[in-house]
Structure 1
Amino acid sequence: MTNEKIDRRIVRTKRMIRDALTDLMEEKGFEAVTVRDLTEKADINRGTFYLHYRDKFDLLEQSEDELLAEIHEFIKETTTEDIVQANLRGEPLPFIVKLFEYIQENSRFMKLLLGPNGNPAFQVKLKEFMKQNFLRKLGSVANIDSRVPLDYLMAYVTSAHLGVIQQWLAEEMKQPPKEMALTLATITFFGPGFAAGIRKK
């Protein structure tokens, strides 16, 4: 069997286990989930589970890290030219559109992680991820000359981004990803005062 086939099989098996975790977390919450529950739900044996994960906590952490790695891949694919052209056309940044599309595709698991009973550690990890990757991407097209301490600016922006994502998930993603990306861009670049209609540009 080729390495490519083995890799595909591993990816498929891990996805089945993550889907089982999602189902079980929806049914009874993470704390009540057991490895036996997971293997039965995913229709695998315990040996297969322990081949990939130490326990359910390792499964959750690896699943979270895989989400961030997948998001990082499409952020890397967005070029400086993509961002410049989006700005010229008054369109939302392409990697933010892709972010909302990805969240929509993985909404059940994301909602569990980011909802009221979600994992606070993942929320901290996601904000740090946004801080590192979004700042670097935006810095590739514009010099950031912050009028306030940069750490506070990034704390504000990442918390705002997370809050918007959480609200979108809580409202069952009524608006399409592109519209959400445009909403986020309006708030981010023009400020909440402008977005609320309190002040002009």
Structure 2
Amino acid sequence: MSVHEKMNSETKQAIKHALISQIEMVGFERVTVKELALTAKINRGTFYLHYTDKFAVMEDIQQELLHHLAECVQKIRLLDATHTIQAGQLYPPFVEVIHYIKEQATFFRVLLGEQGSPVFSIGVKNIFSEQILQNLIMIQADKLDMEFSKYLRAFISSAVLGVIQEWLANGNEQLSVEKLSMIHFRLMKFLGEMWSYN
């Protein structure tokens, strides 16, 4: 990466962080380009070299987060996860997902919170539900009708999103990636035992 590219990248990151900071303080609707530039310590002309408006910044943030999240989630295989959990171990691909969310915790917390973006929440759920669907088709396509599969996807993706939102809302600094992974492991094990009991 050239010096110019590095400076451009750093400026864009400063603008993204400024937007998240402003959303936390005043909400997205009240964010202005003037305040974004001030917060990012750039002038308005520099802002417009990178983005047309605050909506473009928001779109860039969401696309980047969803792209990297999808890359992590695509490594999850439900069958492998089940075997790993049954063996009493944490499932590494899910730990990787949590690691990524932890790295970008401020962005995820704001975008998934009350001041955030419903579109982003739907995007996160879609990433999980799409991967779940592919896994279900591979595992037992002959046993699941389409209607049940649809609701099972919604149930699992909402549950995963709910755990992540709870973690972020309650301060992910107090609960490490490993501890959240262990809670996820216990939840999956608990549900598995409950279903097998019935």
Q: TM-score band (shorter)?
A: 0.7 to 0.9
Residues 86 and 94 of structure 1 are in contact (CA less than 8 Å); yes or no, is this contact kept in structure 2?
A: no
Instruction: Give the alignment of 1:5-84 within 5 angstroms.
Output: 5-75=3-73, 78=75, 83=80
Runs of 4+ in 1 over 6 A off after TM superposition: none
TM-score by length of 1: 0.78
SS in 2 for 1:143: helix
Structure 2, gaps ≥5 residues long: none
TM-score by length of 2: 0.79
Partner amino acid for 1:152? Y
Closer, same or farther: CA 115–43 of 1 in aligned 2, 3 Å = same
Identity level (%): 32
Match of 2:162 in 1: 163
Count of residues in correspondence between the two structures = 191
Provide Cα deviations, 1:58-85, integer angstroms capped at 9, x if missing partner. Answer: 2112101111112233445x487xx578
Deviation of 1:123 (Å): 0.6
Partner amino acid for 1:165? I
CA RMSD of aligned residues (A): 3.0
Structure 1, gaps ≥5 residues long: none
SS in 1 for 2:154: helix
Provide Cα deviations, 1:20-54, integer angstroms capped at 9, x if missing partner. Answer: 11221222221111001111111223233223322
Match of 2:183 in 1: 183
Deviation of 1:113 (Å): 1.0
Closer, same or farther: CA 144–180 of 1 in aligned 2, 3 Å = farther
Partner amino acid for 1:109? F
Pair 1:153-2:152 in alignment: yes
